Structure 1
Amino acid sequence: MERHFYWVRLANVPHWLLETPTRASGEAFDEPWMFTEGHVLVDPGPLKSRISHPGQKRTFLFAGVEETPLGHEEIADVFRTLAPDDVQLFPVSIEGESDRSFVVNAIKAVDAIDEARCAEVQHYREGTFPEFAGQYRWIYGLRIDPSKTEGAQVFRLKKFKVALVVSEDIKNALEGVGNLGVSFERVTGPSEG
């Protein structure tokens, strides 16, 4: 039986907007994308985030232009229970909120893109952004090969790190928490369109 995986995306639902997490002092990180790179990080210490636009509070969403995954305690519990070897959870205080929240850092990046089954892939043109050579600029109808996920339940894709991918078990558990600011796009099996 094939394992199914899902790309976690920002949902088209009303939600509040949170700024990219910073150090508790307010100092920004030199590399604000670090929480989306798919590798283990040294504990950054106390973190904080501010509400940049009020709206409906959600249990799981992406903060800032970097799309840092942030989840409430119940969301962190899903990852702690079902994917303890695939994520780091860093406490983050959200200004004006008493609920405990966490940055969810996927610590694995796997090479599992099935380019032939994707609807459309766009590569960075040679010479335009040398630091992105060999990576994908964007992928429509993303498809991965589940046999290449190295047993991970949560991961980033090596050449397309914008995609946070979770197993069906994780997806179902997150949906069980409810009030999500994210949606799930299946990236395994036949194309959906």
Structure 2
Amino acid sequence: MPTRYFQLTDDMYLPNRWELGTLDGPDGVPVQPALLRSGTPLSLKGRLKVAIEEPGGPLDFTHAPYSIPIVHVRVASLLTEQSPDEVQFLPVDIPSQPDQYLVLNALRLIRCIDDARSSEVRYWEPEDGMPEKLGTYFSIAGLRIDPTKAGGARMFRTWGWPGALIVSEDLKQALEQSGATGMKFTPV
């Protein structure tokens, strides 16, 4: 029987939590989100920077805009131990934060979305006026994946809908047991 999978997101309903702003490169220019959602390693010289948009309590797992995960070094250590070939971490500075944080880059992009089992799937149509996106996903509600297509991966993004960060059930359990804050898991 294939493993179960979960979408890992930032729990936006935690009280008194911080919210992070735009992720900037070492040169101060915003990092293109697509670079961190493509499933490929990045080579950046220098440290990234992210501002605190809304002050509050720091989280061990949180998103910068466009679902870019920022994780505490403890979470990064656990993920490196559990899924060393599926993750890359890039150092990031957060103002007034003495703890070490890293940007999580998932290194796998897997074609596994189950259109039939997802609640609603819409594709870009000619009338949307974006010919370069024609036939690709416009929106997905109630995301479901076909676990048989995941090939045993423990952490990945979904091809065609790369904002979704997916983890295996055993990785979910390890993250929960670590006591890390800020994570929300939704079955897919």
- State whether TM-score is above 0.5: yes
* 2:105 pairs with 1:105: yes
Aligned to 1:121: 121
| SS of alignment partner, residue 7 of structure 2 | strand
Q: Using the alignment, how far apart are the partners of 2:174 and 2:117 within structure 1?
A: 27
| SS of alignment partner, residue 169 of structure 1 | helix
In the TM superposition, what whole-angstrom CA distance separates every residue of 1:120-162 from its partner, at most 9, and x where no partner exists?
1121223532333332122122111111113321111111111
* 2:140 pairs with 1:159: no
Q: Using the alignment, how far apart are the partners of 1:21 and 1:167 within structure 2?
A: 27
Which AA in structure 2 matches 1:146? Answer: P
Note if contact 1:78-1:170 (Cα within 8 Å) is conserved in structure 2. no
Aligned to 2:39: 38
Sort the Cα spacing of 1:97 and 1:123 in 2 relative to 1 into closer, same or farther, 3 A.
same
For 1:73-88, list aligned pairs within 5 A: 73-88=73-88
TM-score, with length taken from structure 1: 0.88
For 1:1-193, list aligned pairs within 5 A: 1-11=1-11, 12-14=13-15, 15-29=17-31, 31-64=32-65, 66-126=66-126, 128-187=129-188
Which AA in structure 2 matches 1:20? Answer: T
Note if contact 1:19-1:63 (Cα within 8 Å) is conserved in structure 2. yes
Identical columns (%): 36
Which AA in structure 1 matches 2:73? Answer: E
| SS of alignment partner, residue 70 of structure 2 | strand
Sort the Cα spacing of 1:19 and 1:90 in 2 relative to 1 into closer, same or farther, 3 A.
same
C-alpha root-mean-square deviation of aligned residues, in Å? 1.7
Q: Which runs of 4+ in 1 moved over 4 A?
A: none
| SS of alignment partner, residue 115 of structure 1 | coil
Query: What is the CA-CA distance between 1:24 and the residue it aligns to?
Result: 3.3
| Count of residue correspondences | 185
In the TM superposition, what whole-angstrom CA distance separates every residue of 1:37-91 from its partner, at most 9, and x where no partner exists?
2222223531111111101211101112x22100001110121011111111111
Note if contact 2:3-2:152 (Cα within 8 Å) is conserved in structure 1. no
Which AA in structure 2 matches 1:54? Answer: P
Note if contact 1:5-1:146 (Cα within 8 Å) is conserved in structure 2. yes
Structure 2, unaligned stretches of length 5 or more? none
Query: What is the CA-CA distance between 1:179 and the residue it aligns to?
Result: 4.5
Which AA in structure 2 matches 1:106? Answer: A
Q: Using the alignment, how far apart are the partners of 1:119 and 1:106 within structure 2?
A: 25
Note if contact 1:87-1:104 (Cα within 8 Å) is conserved in structure 2. yes
Note if contact 2:61-2:181 (Cα within 8 Å) is conserved in structure 1. yes
Structure 1, unaligned stretches of length 5 or more? 188-193
TM-score, with length taken from structure 2: 0.90
